Amino acid sequence: MEDNKHNEVKPDENSSNEEAHNEAQAPSAEAPQQDPQKTEAAATEAPEPVSQSGAISSPFTALQAIILKPNSVFSTLKNTANWSWVAFIFVTFFSVLPTWLYFNQIDMVWYSEMAVNLQMPDVSPSEKAQAMQMMQNQAIGTFTAFFVAIGAIILNAIFAFYLSKITQMDEDNVLSFGDWYGFTWWATLPFAFIGILNTLIILMFGGPQMSPEYLSVFSLAFVLGISMESGWFGWAQGIGLDSLWIIYLTAVGISQWTKLSSRQCTIIAVAPFAIIWGVWAFFLII
């Protein structure tokens, strides 16, 4: 009896051993095993290139990212080439578009009369009529848009020259005027963003007798209700959301392109605007 029992147990043990052996081999048949240390290292290293190169992989993604992630954008721009052409076209086009659109839908008879009365209040009626006729015969929209584009190119060149010289405080800075000139088109992108908003305003609310003040809805002049007759209108029109945004982007960009402190970067970004606004206000006061 004991021998029979012993013989009956052996098949069960052998079958259980075979099942355990098969289960142990099953995973290796389905998929190859990986080294846990290598897997963990790959998991920790994978996100790094995605955050640096994957997020901002082209100038078009940089145009979008600069609104919320300007530090990442300027850090990427320092190591790229020819991306600034995209920013140049974007800024130039959308800075010009609202002005061109405004003058191509406005009643020029009404506009010329308003402009002449504001600029030449003390001349004779015949001289006013002559000036109005000249304005009506000219393509003001095209000329204004052209000078806006040329002005942006010249002002950015001056701004780039200033940045190329002032950032030499950083001894490790080897960036050229051309590098900073490309930088300025990214820093002045707020002109384009505000231009898009102004274009939408003109399309939705524009008309033959739309006031030119609506070309600067996001300026201090519009917020404070300063009329075009005021001597402070031009000064207040130059202070707006776009200029403050440009100051911020400039400070951020300098901090990414140089080793200067945050305080130095802020002073460099604010200084040109503060000087212009201060000198302008001084002459208005005296």
| Residue 178 lies inside a defined structural domain of this protein | yes
CB neighbour list of residue 152: distance below 8 Å, 6 or more residues apart: 91, 92, 95, 188, 191
| Residue 11 lies inside a defined structural domain of this protein | no
> Can you give the pLDDT at residue 41?
41
Backbone angles phi, psi at 240, to 5 degrees: -155, -175
| Residue 264 lies inside a defined structural domain of this protein | yes
Beta bridge partners of 106: none
Could you list the residue range(s) of the whole structural domain that residue 130 is in? 63-285
| Residue 98 lies inside a defined structural domain of this protein | yes
Rg (CA), the chain: 33
- Scored b (16 or more CB within 10 A) or e, 206-220 reads beeebebbebbbbbb
> Can you give the pLDDT at residue 139?
80
| Residue 135 lies inside a defined structural domain of this protein | yes
Burial label, 175 (beta-carbon count in 10 A; 0-12, 13-18, 19+): middle
Name the range with the highest mean pLDDT among 31-40, 84-93, 127-136. 84-93
> Can you give the pLDDT at residue 163?
97
| The model's pTM | 0.78
| Residue 28 lies inside a defined structural domain of this protein | no
Name the range with the highest mean pLDDT among 9-13, 170-174, 203-207, 252-256. 252-256
Residue 68 — left, alpha, or beta (φ > 0 → left; ψ -120 to 50 → alpha)? Answer: alpha
Q: What Å distances lie between residue 117 and 141, 229, 231, CA to CA?
A: 20, 10, 15
> Can you give the pLDDT at residue 125?
86
> Can you give the pLDDT at residue 263?
96
> Can you give the pLDDT at residue 281?
96
pLDDT (tens digit per residue) in 188-232: 999 999 999 999 999 998 889 998 888 889 999 999 999 888 889
How many domains would you assign to the chain? 1
| Residue 270 lies inside a defined structural domain of this protein | yes
Q: Which one has a higher pLDDT value, 71 or 136?
A: 71
Among 205, 190, 164, 173, CA closest to 249: 190
Among 75, 36, 42, CA closest to 183: 75
